[in-house]
Amino acid sequence: MTKKLISWLVVLLAFIALMLLANVLLGPDADKLQGVYWIVFTAIAVVILIVLYLVSSTSEAWEVGTRQVVYMAIGAALYGVFNWIFNTIPMPSVSQVALRPSVCIPIFFGYVFGPVVGFFTGAVGNIIGDFLTGWGVYPAWDIANGFMGLIPGLVMLFADKKRSLNFLTIVVAVLVVVVAAIIFINPRVVGPWTGEIEDFSFWAWAFLVGGVVVIAGRFLLERVNEDLAAVNIWGSLGIILGIGYAAMADIWINGYSFATALIGEFAPAAGPNILNAMILVPILLGAYQAVQVRIGR
């Protein structure tokens, strides 16, 4: 095995170890890891991540040195603390979904410092935030947050950033339209804990507006800086795929129906996250690039 693969495996093992440690430290009153599905979906994610590395192992995007380790620690700490703060602002959903402007942190760290840093920032930061809140340990959602950081980092795999941006803009647009259409067709789902019918039609509009803003912002920001346009599209894709992974996993983990997982959980989490990322990530990236220019890097 190459040094890069070993480093990647160490990062994944560190994530799993921290997840298990948090589970022990939270005590008997918190939500504990139960059943086998959390193991199954953690294993599926690990296989996906290793395969993703193997098909692009020659890229420097997977380098893990002292610099990356420092960024991982900083990113995870920042994301964890800000998640703890914003976990106090719940969003209407069928599960523990909170308003998280902090979602900009793993997206920024992944895009700037690479997929490994992005994954660790999102996954471990989510563990820290949930631990500080006392919520418990939710592996599928920890992995989802890791994906939100990792996927923007994959931009480093593409030599032609413009070409990848055009393709991903189409992908994001299609995904947004499909999700919004499904919600519009059937906006009401049975709350899994209350048994009452809940109307989530609002989230169809929020998701649709978020997608339109991101895609329009891509073309507006591209006139200023291609990176500002790219980070929004990559970030939106990371949010959609990451949150989608966790929501679909909850079909087995929590016994949700497909409609409940998509309409009552995915949309309330992904829609606001996309809007938050659209506003905050370009600000972070623009400020970072300005500092880099000032110090001559």
Of the candidate ranges 9-13, 175-179, 200-204, the one whose mean pLDDT is the lowest: 200-204
Task: Note the pLDDT tens digit of each residue in 47-71.
Answer: 999 999 999 988 989 989 999 999 9
Mean pLDDT, residues 147-167? 87
Q: Cβ distance 106 to 74 under 8 Å?
A: no
Higher pLDDT, 88 or 93: 88
What are the sequence ranges of the domains in the chain? 3-157, 161-294
* Distant-in-sequence, close-in-space partners of 115: CB < 8 Å, separation ≥ 6: 61, 62, 149, 150, 151, 153, 154, 156
Task: Note the pLDDT tens digit of each residue in 250-296.
Answer: 999 888 888 888 887 888 888 888 888 888 999 999 899 888 888 86
In this structure, the number of other CB atoms found within 10 A of the CB of residue 104 comes to 24
Q: Cβ distance 190 to 260 under 8 Å?
A: yes
| pLDDT at position 166 over 90 | no
pLDDT, position 116: 96
Helix (H) or strand (E) holding 190: strand 188-190
Q: What percent of the chain has pLDDT over 70?
A: 88
| Average pLDDT across the chain, whole number | 86
Q: What percent of the chain has pLDDT over 90?
A: 41
| pLDDT at position 35 over 80 | no
Find the distance separating the first CA and the last CA of the chain, reported in whole Å.
33
* Residue 159 confidence class, pLDDT cut points 50, 70, 90: confident
pLDDT, position 118: 97
pLDDT, position 190: 63
